Structure 1
Amino acid sequence: MQYHVNGELVARENATVSVDDRGFRYGDAAFETCRAYGGEVYRWQRHAERLQRTCETLGMPDAVPDDLALRVAETLDANDLEGAYVRTSISRGVQLGKLTPDEDVDPTVVVYVRPLPRGGVDGERVWDDPAVVQSVKTRRPPDAALPADAKTHNYLNGILARLELRTASSDTYQPDEALIRDTDG
Structure 2
Amino acid sequence: MTVLLDGVRLEEAAARVSLFDRGFQYGDGLFETLAVVAGRPLFWEAHFARLQRSARLLGLPMAAEALWRQEAEAAIDPAVPRQVLKLMLSRGVGSRGYGPSGQETATRVVYTSPWPGYLESHWRRGIVARHCRTPLLGGAAFATLKTLNRLNQVLARQELTGSGADEGLMTDTGGHLREGTFTNLFWVRAGQVETPRLDFAGIPGIMRGEIIAWLRQRGQRVVEVDATAAVLDEASECFVSNSLIGIWPVRAVGDKAWPDAPGPVSRHLLAWLETLSLA
TM-score range, shorter chain: 0.7 to 0.9
> Which residue number in structure 2 is paired with residue 58 of structure 1?
58
Q: 1:134 to 1:124 in 2, by over 3 A?
A: closer
Match of 2:179 in 1: none
Aligned residues: CA RMSD: 2.0
Percent of pairs with identical residues: 32
Instruction: Mark the structure with the bigger radius of gyration.
Output: 2
Q: Secondary structure at the match of 2:144?
A: coil
Residue 148 of structure 1: aligned partner: 143
1:91 aligned to 2:90? yes
SS at match of 2:100: coil
Structure 1 residue runs of 5 or longer lacking an equivalent are none
Length-normalised TM-score, structure 1: 0.85
- Asked if 2 retains the 8 angstrom alpha-carbon contact of 1:22 and 1:28, the reply is yes
What stretches of structure 2 of length at least 5 have no aligned partner? 176-279
Deviation at 1:18, TM superposition (A): 0.7
Give the alignment's TM-score, normalised by structure 2. 0.58
Number of residue equivalences: 173
For 2:54 and 2:121, locate their aligned partners in 1 and report how far apart those are by CA, in whole Å. 29
Displacement of 1:148 after TM fit?
Answer: 3.5
Deviations 1:50-99 (A, max 9, x none): 01111112111x3244410110001114x853421011100000112111
What displacement does 1:124 show? 6.2
**Closer, same or farther: CA 146–114 of 1 in aligned 2, 3 Å:** same
Residues 126 and 18 of structure 1: CA distance in aligned 2, closer, same or farther (over 3 Å): farther
Question: 1:57, 1:4 → 2: CA distance?
Answer: 25
Structure 1 counterpart of 2:114? 115
**Cα drift, residue 115 of structure 1:** 2.3
How far, CA to CA, are the matches of 2:126 and 2:2 in structure 1? 36
Mean Cα deviation higher: 146-155 or 104-113: 146-155
The aligned amino acid for 1:160 is L
How far apart are the structure 2 equivalents of 1:65 and 1:24? 23
- State the structure with bigger RCO (CA 8 A, min sep 6), 1 or 2: 1
